[in-house]
Structure 1
Amino acid sequence: MPETPAVGRRERKKAATRQAIADAALELFLEHGYERVSVRDVAEKADVSTTTLFAHFPGKEALVFDREAEVEASLTAAVRERPPGQDVVEALRAHALTSWTRMASDPRRDRFTELVDGTPALREYWERMWMRHASALGAVIARELGREADDLACAALARFVLEVPALAASGHDPRAAVEAVFDLLTHGWQASQQP
């Protein structure tokens, strides 16, 4: 089994700086509102230059969605790196249960959601980002199943799966909500579920 290379000091320092910038940005945005905080304010709070900030983030909106690349990578890895014999939906269920139920319990989640929903630029960025994630996930699912990259069923599955965090967060028991949604994906809509 190949060994995972150790993360070097330089990479750790870059990651720590990036995290400090993201943490400073979120704190300021939640406290003062997205529109009232400048990139310079964030850089000052994180004790970095604006040049350093832009070396880590392409723009102001990206400061809010600092885990964008990590989220997409973990989604596609859940499908690509699933254990032999595990079906795609079950791999995505396992991913959702470990990743998204934890997000639903974050004490800042409601304030973060209000920030995004109440800021048109962030809402638009989020929608574009989520569509990129859906496209990447749909393509990986199609590749894993030996289908064309633009397979409609794979694209639909990806989009539905990406709605799970919002559905899970709307209830009192995120874990049960994730299970219910994935049960629906696995078994389909049953007539007995109708009112």
Structure 2
Amino acid sequence: MTVEPPGRRQRKNAQTRRALADAAQRLFLDKGYDRVSVKEIAEEVDISVPTVFKHVPDGKEALMFDDGVERRESLLAAVRERRAGQSVLAALREFMSGRGPFLADPTPEMRRRTELIVKTPALRDYSRKLWIRCEAPLAEALAAELGREPHDLTARAVARYVLEIPQFVSEEPDPRAALDAIFDLLEFGLHGQTGQESRAALRD
């Protein structure tokens, strides 16, 4: 039996995973998440149902998302590679503002995808799961940037609060305004100066 080199096998796996994600998103948008079966998605890509679960062991809801690696690495890079003088919370606010429901001018396709996730409980729950998987590495990165111990309680709390924001405010009438309100709370405190007030003060 011929064994494929690891590089080629990984590329083929990535191609299959991408094909599954594309087929799932198309079917979910056309029919609704609950009306699409894993078997139907498998048939679209011409593979078996067991092969689908080999690529996405978490199940049907995972097909709308990547494996979370890009999310985690981008999140950590936002903290570690932030601009000189930028606070970690300002960097995280900037990062979050470029994701999903917080985009200022999403493409029509992105808008439809975001609405599908927000309005489908199984997809919303899985999206939250991917965010929460980032909690430990984000907390460690925050602690390091703040000069604290790796398991510092404050860093862990900030990581948890920040990663809950997408789930918490995704159904707000203005998700971006809600995002800013929560980051203002985290950065300035309940009775502190808001980001808007701070920017106004700098202009005066």
- Give the corresponding residue for 2:76: 76
Alpha-carbon displacement from aligned partner over 1:134-180 (angstroms, at most 9, x marks no partner): 22211211122222222111111111111222344233333322222
Distance 1:37 1:68, change over 3 A: same
> Does 1 or 2 have the higher relative contact order (CA < 8 Å, sep 6+)?
1
Across the aligned residues of Structure 1 and Structure 2, the Cα RMSD in angstroms comes to 3.4
Unpaired runs of 5+ residues, structure 2, are: 1-7, 195-204
**Amino acid of the structure 2 residue aligned with 1:99:** R
Unpaired runs of 5+ residues, structure 1, are: 1-8
User: Within 1, Cα distance between the matches of 2:35 and 2:176?
Assistant: 34
**Amino acid of the structure 1 residue aligned with 2:117:** F
- Give the corresponding residue for 1:144: 145
Identity of aligned residues (%): 42
Query: How far apart are 1:185 and its partner, in Å?
Result: 1.3
Alpha carbons 1:104, 1:168 under 8 Å: kept: no
Query: How far apart are 1:189 and its partner, in Å?
Result: 0.2
Alpha-carbon displacement from aligned partner over 1:101-157 (angstroms, at most 9, x marks no partner): 129962233332333x2x4xx676555433322222112111222222221111111
How many residues align structurally? 181
Write the mapping of 1:1-195 to structure 2, written as runs, cut at 5 A: 15-29=14-28, 31=31, 33-34=33-34, 37-38=37-38, 40-48=39-47, 53=52, 56-60=55-59, 61-66=61-66, 68-100=68-100, 101-102=102-103, 106-115=111-120, 117=121, 119=122, 125-126=126-127, 128-190=129-191
User: Within 1, Cα distance between the matches of 2:36 and 2:176?
Assistant: 36
Alpha carbons 2:144, 2:150 under 8 Å: kept: yes
User: Within 1, Cα distance between the matches of 2:129 and 2:169?
Assistant: 21
Alpha carbons 1:79, 1:140 under 8 Å: kept: yes
User: Within 1, Cα distance between the matches of 2:9 and 2:190?
Assistant: 51
Q: Secondary structure at the match of 2:134?
A: helix
